[in-house]
Structure 1
Amino acid sequence: MSNSESPLGISPAGVDKSLPGEITESLRSLFGELLGIPTDQVPVDVSFVELGSDSLLLVEATERIEDLLGIDVPFRDLLDTCSDITSLAAHLTAQGAVAAPVAASPAEEAAPPRALAPAAPPAGPSPAAPSPVETAEPLLQAPDQAGTTDLEREIIGLQLEVMRQQLDVLRGRRHQPTAPAPDRPAAAPPRTAEEAPAQAMGPYRPIEARRGRELTSGQLHHVKELITSIEARTEKSKKQAAHQRPVHADSRMSAGFHVLWKEIVHPIVADRAEGARFTDVDGNEYVDISMDFGVNLFGHNPPFIREAIQAQLDRGMPLAPYNTLVGQVAGLVSDLTGMSRTAFQNSGTEAVMVAVRAARTVTRRRKIVVFSGAYHGTFDGVLARRSTDPSKPPGTAVPLTRGTPAAMAQDVIVADFADSSAFDVIAAHSEDIAAVLVEPVQSRMPQIQPFAWLRELRDLTDRLGIALIFDEVITGFRLHAGGMQALSGVRADLAVYGKVIGGGMPIGVISGSERFMAPIDGGLWAYGDDSWPSAETTVFAGTFSKHPLAMAAAHAVLRRVKDESPQLHNELDARTERLQTTLNDFTRRAGIPLRVERAGSLFRFSFGRGFGYPDLFFHHLLNRGVYVWEGRNCYLSTAHTDDDVTFIARTVRAAVEEMAAAGFVQTEGGTSDE
């Protein structure tokens, strides 16, 4: 393929314009790759939002089109005048785009990553490594369908979902944050014949309808009733959101924004929380399957953590003098994970920054490798995506988001997760690579558990002198007491932890071998001899790292994990497996394009083509008393009971059946409007 030709089948503008049908097929190929579905299953008359495109995916689509064609399609146009394949193709054709023969997308050329069971652990693991669990079956059961969606777009999806003001400006009116807009006509772009007039729906005032498939009267009625119900249930939460918005900026305040349900786009404000449930400021009780983004392995406000924090509060919170628990917490991390030494920061993002900096100090190389679909926090140095410029070498990275300088991506290489092609990319750049940073099981694709691939990755990085960093901020101590190193039988050079270990307090943990931890403090030395901290050092500091309250909570968590494992994780995994099996059996029998995918007690709902407006599903759960945060990663805790699992399963089933009855779900052999 020539450099002037797009791998997705569109060439830069030439003298002659292509037929719209050729551009259409090229765009189907593009969006098929981005959405992770076969090209021939990408409809041309359904809006990108309805297909499941979030804001980050649409931003990536505009950047790819601009990179390949030099045609700027504003992000807002993909929400309005170019909201589906047909209208976008017509726009590009009018701008002079030329379609080249459509080539197979990478997603179609290669087999999707497979969900791999842990292979038999190598004989005679090193004494420092925890013994891998020996089992013929995967401990982290994966569903029989492995997801193929390229999830780079989700890495900071919430940060880019603040679309409210863009939509308001698009429709010719300014946002009024302090009060509802007066009931007067709003300026609007000329309406095409395909657009339906705006319809008032009780308290909900819809913005001008976008191009694409319109909702039926029955679906509009369904949405109206849901909005009315949620507004009545969460009146105080909504008032607090409206009151805060003029003075408080937070991506979660607009996460999941959609013109159809704008009136219920706001966070739920909690009043109190205990165990598996919390109560909001309106008095509604929810079974919580977000568990504070996976933090609460033991549920909300467990007495043993609360008592540990209170005991430390009674003794004060000095920051400059060392806390008595720091060494004990580091020792427990070493006992559980087999890592030699540990340092503390305040968040997973900071832990990643320190680990990368330490690896670069030791290896004296500058580049790092990350993988498509991974999430490593919000450090600019890891906010990168693969370049779509066909003239660039494989793995070339560009900034993932606006505001990240291009120079930050120059030292990043992006490879395919759980794919052998990554080994070729790493080998080709080995002399420049300081570290490979990997989520052993990606939180957004929990069904992919590539333990054999991880062992090959370890062998390769060992041979090439590259540091291997496991990012276990989400999975650490949740899936196994020894983390993914114990489950996979792979010993990393560095690992970063967070969330669970903090017991609800802010924390970031960096653990590793003496060689790679030495840059933090100069390395080991002793009293009474001539030793000194002789290792080359890098910058490491933090006012609130090792905070006394965080140390108290972490000490309590790690003691409980150590004392109660493996029974703790075995019982939690079994309960989550029961939920997964119950729901997947129901959706399979009913022909519903919905699956639950999991790794241990981490799980996600995965929607197939034919499940329209997935966000409505989560609003239904909320309305029925099951809480899922906007990022949609779900977790069970030890506080969840069998009765809670039954309630969750019953609620999911009721939500799906109600949406199917309204025509939002295309069942196999059914008659849906979707």
Structure 2
Amino acid sequence: MELLKDLQQRYRQRYPASAALYDEAVAQTPGGVHGNLRHYPPFPLSFKRAEGARMIDVDGYTYTDYFLSYGSLILGHGHPSVREAVEKVWQIQGTSSFGTPHPMESEMVKVLREFYPSFESVRLTNSGLEATLLAVRLALAYTGRTHLAKFQGHYHGSHDQVLLNIHIDPRSREPIPVADSFGLPDYVKEHTVVLPFGDWESCEPLLERHKNHMGAVILEPMMGGYVPAPTGLVQNLRRWTQENNIPLIFDEVKTGFRVSLGGAQEYYGVKPDLTTLGKVVGGGFPIGVVGGKQEILSLCSPLRSQQPLFHSGTYNGNPMSLAAGLATMRQLSQPGYFDTIVENTRKLREGIEQLSEHYRAGWTTLGVGTIFNLVESGEPPLSKASGDGRLRRLQLDYLLMERGVFSKPMNRFSLSGVHEAQDIENTLKAFEQAFAALAYVKP
């Protein structure tokens, strides 16, 4: 604990401009941030510029960026193809938002359906949160039932129906619904079935017990984007939901175009009924996607003879987001491009693990494709860092920032197409220096 205090004191002294901006923000914004996940102690860094795989903070320090706006920027910051595509929107369309249909919407839907065969129909939204909200609403309306099943440890945005049991207790085989925010109505807890992640034998009895009033099951097929569900769990869940005519929702906001170009559903060889996407699909601009079975999505069609399920949004399908997203997907489709990102991710992970073993640091990596995180060696892969592990991870993250590596404390690492061999080498040097500074072994 003393080491952490020392590192935080060095952090305060090193980043006076970020500290001043944070103090100013706290006076006029709750907690000084416009999203709770952006905060970390003693204050978050503020950045003034980014390019490629680099970010520069307001104190002038440069970082190799593995945060990439929560993994959204798989081409890196300001990729030329994305910039060109967005500039063309101004030149050709002349506006950032029509609020009406336009040709690029159909183009985006066609491209998405090529990558995701489960997409018979698609609706565009403005964020992953909006996408999961719509997907759950559609599924419950389709079944006419009231209960949603979700897995503990899985995050699907901050709307009421899914803001429960985000933190995982690997010892619990029958989790009790727990709200992760006050202000949620009791209805949410009373109509949510929380499932243990990773163990079908524990899940099945809970599903069977509640199947008569269960309207949908939602999960991150890879928790947090980097913890893969056991293949047997995914396959059994798909079988069970099909047998009981209960829609299965894959939340692929983090994993879409990251674990593979076809997402986690391509990795597992499983077609969900509904899928939510975000992040990478917008190329750095706000976007969300709900894709899946036409008979479910048609419920929100204004052409229905009965009252439609309502869904709308001023900026849905805006040309800026679609142009940036289409440019990103065209680049990812270039032969070998995505494979190179995967290979660089593998090299970085192997290098970190070798250094950790040498310095007896106690860390390994976990993930698939272009995304991973550090987890404690020997710990169950489904448990998230807590207690001593969280303390050690924070210490490591502060030391990495001092050495020019940024992923936001406690956050996963995402790679891009502009991370090069020299970036990997420099990052591994930073890890080596950090492990040595923590004195896991004597020199």
| TM-score, L = length of structure 1 | 0.59
Matches within 5 A, 1:533-544: 533-534=304-305, 537-544=308-315
Q: 1:394 to 1:284 in 2, by over 3 A?
A: closer
The AA in structure 2 aligned to 1:306 is R
Report what 2:104 is aligned to: 325
The AA in structure 2 aligned to 1:500 is V
Compute the displacement of 1:323 (Å).
2.5
Counterpart contact for 2:139–2:247, Cα < 8 Å: yes
Task: Structure 1 unaligned segments of length 5 or more: list them.
Answer: 1-49, 51-214, 258-264, 523-531
Counterpart contact for 2:153–2:166, Cα < 8 Å: no
Q: In 2, Cα distance between the equivalents of 1:618 and 1:325?
A: 41
Counterpart contact for 2:135–2:276, Cα < 8 Å: yes
Q: In 2, Cα distance between the equivalents of 1:610 and 1:477?
A: 33
Aligned partner (choices 38, 48, 65) of residue 288 of structure 1: 65
Compute the displacement of 1:233 (Å).
3.7
The AA in structure 2 aligned to 1:591 is R
Structure 1 outlier segments of 4+, above 6 Å: none
Q: 1:284 to 1:424 in 2, by over 3 A?
A: same
Compute the displacement of 1:558 (Å).
2.4
Counterpart contact for 1:255–1:630, Cα < 8 Å: no
Q: 1:631 to 1:655 in 2, by over 3 A?
A: closer
Report what 1:383 is aligned to: 163
Q: 1:535 to 1:453 in 2, by over 3 A?
A: farther
Aligned partner (choices 113, 117, 120) of residue 340 of structure 1: 120
Residues 141-195 of structure 1 show CA distances to partners (whole Å, capped at 9, x for unaligned) of: xxxxxxxxxxxxxxxxxxxxxxxxxxxxxxxxxxxxxxxxxxxxxxxxxxxxxxx
Report what 1:552 is aligned to: 323
Compute the displacement of 1:536 (Å).
5.9
Residues 474-523 of structure 1 show CA distances to partners (whole Å, capped at 9, x for unaligned) of: 0001121111111111011000000000011011110011111111215x
Compute the displacement of 1:591 (Å).
2.0
Residues 452-478 of structure 1 show CA distances to partners (whole Å, capped at 9, x for unaligned) of: 321111011000010000000000011
Aligned partner (choices 163, 180, 188) of residue 408 of structure 1: 188
Report what 1:355 is aligned to: 135
SS at match of 1:546: coil
Q: 1:396 to 1:237 in 2, by over 3 A?
A: closer
Q: In 1, Cα distance between the equivalents of 2:347 and 2:268?
A: 24
Matches within 5 A, 1:212-227: 215=2, 219=3, 224=6, 226-227=7-8
Q: What is the count of residue pairs matched by the alignment?
A: 422
Compute the displacement of 1:590 (Å).
2.8
Report what 2:217 is aligned to: 436
The AA in structure 2 aligned to 1:245 is V
Tell me how large the CA RMSD over aligned residues is.
Answer: 2.5
Report what 1:248 is aligned to: 29
Residues 245-297 of structure 1 show CA distances to partners (whole Å, capped at 9, x for unaligned) of: 1012225598333xxxxxxx222222211111011222211100111100011
Report what 1:302 is aligned to: 79
| TM-score, L = length of structure 2 | 0.89
The AA in structure 2 aligned to 1:586 is L
The AA in structure 2 aligned to 1:545 is N
Q: In 2, Cα distance between the equivalents of 1:652 and 1:241?
A: 28
Report what 1:500 is aligned to: 280
Matches within 5 A, 1:269-668: 269-314=46-91, 315-338=94-117, 339-385=119-165, 394=174, 396-420=176-200, 421-443=202-224, 446-521=226-301, 533-534=304-305, 537-561=308-332, 563-564=333-334, 567-607=336-376, 612-660=391-439, 665=440
Q: In 1, Cα distance between the equivalents of 2:349 and 2:256?
A: 21
Task: Structure 2 unaligned segments of length 5 or more: list them.
Answer: 378-386
Compute the displacement of 1:306 (Å).
1.0
Q: In 1, Cα distance between the equivalents of 2:76 and 2:90?
A: 21
The structure in which a higher percent of residues are helix is 2
Q: In 1, Cα distance between the equivalents of 2:20 and 2:114?
A: 48
The AA in structure 2 aligned to 1:469 is I
Tell me the percent identity.
26
Compute the displacement of 1:341 (Å).
1.1
Compute the displacement of 1:398 (Å).
3.4
SS at match of 2:358: helix
Counterpart contact for 1:593–1:610, Cα < 8 Å: no
SS at match of 1:545: coil
Q: 1:461 to 1:553 in 2, by over 3 A?
A: same
Q: In 2, Cα distance between the equivalents of 1:387 and 1:572?
A: 30
Of the two, which has the highest radius of gyration? 1
Counterpart contact for 1:474–1:498, Cα < 8 Å: yes
Structure with more relative contact order (C-alpha pairs < 8 Å, separation 6 or more): 2
Q: 1:535 to 1:455 in 2, by over 3 A?
A: farther
Counterpart contact for 2:359–2:435, Cα < 8 Å: no
Compute the displacement of 1:244 (Å).
1.7
SS at match of 2:228: coil
Q: In 2, Cα distance between the equivalents of 1:557 and 1:628?
A: 22
